[in-house]
Amino acid sequence: MESSIVTTQPLFRGTTDRVARRLLGKIVAVGSGKQIAAGIIVETEAYLPANDEACHAHSGRTPRNVTMFEGAGKLYVYSIHAGYCMNVVTEQEGNGCAVLIRAIEPVAGIKLMKKRRGKDRLIDLTSGPSKLCQALGVTTKLDGINLLETKSIQIGTSSSIRIRKFDVVVTPRIGISKATELPLRFFVDRNPYVSGLKRLHSGKTDRPLHV
């Protein structure tokens, strides 16, 4: 069921906010065989190349954010507090922008994710940017990797995973102190794994994407 994720270059093409929207409903899979862990992306945020004070690249290159300037399709992983956050770099080389993956719905490797997280309930595995990195085993070792070339981590579609039709909700980004008004957070309406304030959903959060 976790077989062959199809990753295509057009998936990461276009403006950062468009890519953030497009990544909803796509599969992210890390590892292979018995050690695979995977989920469906249900929440993202866009960090723009210009006029975005919340973007790590806003003040130019630093050792941490170099990957953000390496063009669409690179994986940008950084450490924050006691964990990691993973992003898909967007747009052309030199722009400095990315899409943060904030939440996924688990679909494969649940046992492995529970072990890595030290939690047993599904809702505690991947309902936040640092949680999902821990569940998937993503660290800064994967920073800078090219998603179009590697098999260590794959983001795309899978013919063996059926995705339910879904509505998208757009809100300001959360957890930041600058540029807090820009509507650059995208999430799957009513999906229980979305992080943050659940009252922003249109109804009960009981609608998994995996069917």
Binding site for DNA (CB under 7 A): 45, 47, 54-57, 59, 62-65, 68, 76, 78-83, 85, 87, 98, 100, 117, 119, 124, 128-132, 140, 173-177, 195, 197
CA 111 to centroid of chain Cα atoms: 21
Residue 5: burial class (beta carbons within 10 Å; 0-12, 13-18, 19+)? buried
CB of 208 to DNA, least distance (A): 19
Residue 147 or 163: the one with the smaller Cβ distance to DNA is: 147
Name the one residue in this structure whose structure tokens are 């199809």. Answer: 6
Contact 190, 206 (CB under 8 A): yes
Residue 13 or 117: the one with the smaller Cβ distance to DNA is: 117
Residue 111 or 172: the one with the smaller Cβ distance to DNA is: 172
Residue 27 or 113: the one with the smaller Cβ distance to DNA is: 113
Nearest-10 Cα torsion for 139, 10, 47, 80: 0
Contact 181, 193 (CB under 8 A): no
CB of 1 to DNA, least distance (A): 26
User: What tokens appear for 200 in the block?
Assistant: 């922003």
CB of 83 to DNA, least distance (A): 6
CB of 183 to DNA, least distance (A): 15
Closest CA to 16 of 195, 192, 182, 201: 182
Residue 86 or 107: the one with the smaller Cβ distance to DNA is: 86
CB of 10 to DNA, least distance (A): 22
Q: How far is CA 124 from CA 60, 65, 142, in A?
A: 35, 29, 23
Residue 86 or 163: the one with the smaller Cβ distance to DNA is: 86
Contact 127, 193 (CB under 8 A): yes
What are the beta bridge partners of residue 87? 76, 100
CB of 102 to DNA, least distance (A): 7
